[in-house]
Amino acid sequence: MGAEGTTEDAVRNHAAGGGPAPGSVALDGVTVRFRARRHEVTALTGIGLEVGAGGFTAIVGPSGCGKSTLLKLVAGLLSPTEGEVRLGGERVRGPRPDIGYVFQRAALLDWRTARRNILLQAEMRGLPKEPARRRAAELITMTGLDGFEDAYPHELSGGMQQRVALCRALLHRPPVLLMDEPFGALDALTREQMNTELNRVWRETGTTVLLVTHSIAEACALAERVVVMSPRPGRITETVEVGLGPLRVYAETVERPAFRTATARVRALLGAASAGD
């Protein structure tokens, strides 16, 4: 336990060192207003957030507080009404190819095997076939899908389907991975396994991760910091630093004092928010 973090930190610092970091994410004074019928909805207001390259940040907050909107801004699928979003130091002006996205539903194509669902990412981007196949094979091993490459989605459990979706999202080696309640539909035990696996994937790929989750435990078990948001219009109430190293094994992590401190803080912040003002 005492040695955790040293090697991973060294690798990540080395990977992130020098020059503009492709995986950094920044939101500066961001407000998003939607025009819905006659009235306007302010989804997010005054959002300032910086995530360093290779960082893991979780976002929690009540339904409708703008969590999905925040991820869409980073992906360039939405433009802020005010403020600026930057990816790798560069202003986001439209859909960004250098991100991976995982949603609550795996959204796999029924008629394609696991491997061919993963390779869809390469086909859509016109990437060279051989390197894509090699990368798919690496990711399949990394996520414990060996032996299921040729299975169709209906032959896979929910957890395995989400692993396939994760591999697909990572195929093109995106510097940033956006996850929107990716494990929300899984049973508790599978979810814990997926958390441990996501942690390994994060450490092994050095990808910056932004994870939206409803689970306080999941947020604190995985992230380096947890952004707690207020009810709509979403603002950042507080960013809680989770004082745990990068190596997380769910069952062990949840027993650690730093985990308990962080979850208690996040719960208090969410409780205070829902109590209203």
User: Could you list the residues that contact Mg ion (CB under 5 A)?
Assistant: 68
Neighbours of 94 (CB within 10 A): 8
**67 in contact with ligand ADP (CB under 6 A):** yes
Q: What residue 207 binds from ligand ADP, Mg ion, none (CB within 5 to 8 A, per partner kind)?
A: none
Specify the residue, 68 or 161, whose C-beta has the smaller distance to Mg ion: 68
**CA distance from start to end of the chain:** 42
Least spacing, CB of residue 25 vs ligand ADP, in Å: 17
- Cis peptide preceding 257, ω within 30 of 0: no
Measured distance CA(26)–CA(36) in Å, rounded: 27
Least spacing, CB of residue 68 vs ligand ADP, in Å: 3
Q: What residue 43 binds from ligand ADP, Mg ion, none (CB within 5 to 8 A, per partner kind)?
A: ligand ADP
**38 in contact with ligand ADP (CB under 6 A):** no
Q: Which of residues 69-88 bind ligand ADP (CB under 6 A)?
A: 69
Measured distance CA(73)–CA(217) in Å, rounded: 25
Measured distance CA(144)–CA(63) in Å, rounded: 32
* Closest CA relative to residue 223, chosen from 238, 208, 205: 208
Alpha helical stretches, state H, the chain: 6-16, 67-75, 114-125, 129-142, 158-170, 188-205, 216-222, 250-253, 257-274
Q: What residue 34 binds from ligand ADP, Mg ion, none (CB within 5 to 8 A, per partner kind)?
A: ligand ADP
The residues, ordered by sequence, that sit 6+ positions from 50 with a Cβ below 8 Å of its Cβ are 24, 25, 26, 27
Specify the residue, 200 or 232, whose C-beta has the smaller distance to ligand ADP: 232
Task: Write the binding mask 207 to 246 for ligand ADP: x where contact by CB under 6 A, - elsewhere.
Answer: -------------------------x--------------
Specify the residue, 105 or 112, whose C-beta has the smaller distance to ligand ADP: 105
Specify the residue, 180 or 197, whose C-beta has the smaller distance to Mg ion: 180
Measured distance CA(225)–CA(228) in Å, rounded: 10
**68 in contact with ligand ADP (CB under 6 A):** yes
| Stretch of residues binding ligand ADP (CB under 6 A), selected from 65-73, 80-88, 115-123, 213-221 | 65-73
Specify the residue, 68 or 215, whose C-beta has the smaller distance to Mg ion: 68
* Closest CA relative to residue 26, chosen from 2, 66, 62, 55: 55
Work out the burial of residue 52: count CB atoms within 10 Å of its CB; fewer than 13 is exposed, 13-18 middle, 19 or more buried: middle
Specify the residue, 181 or 224, whose C-beta has the smaller distance to ligand ADP: 181
- Binding region for ligand ADP (CB under 6 A): 34, 36, 41, 43, 61, 63-69, 232
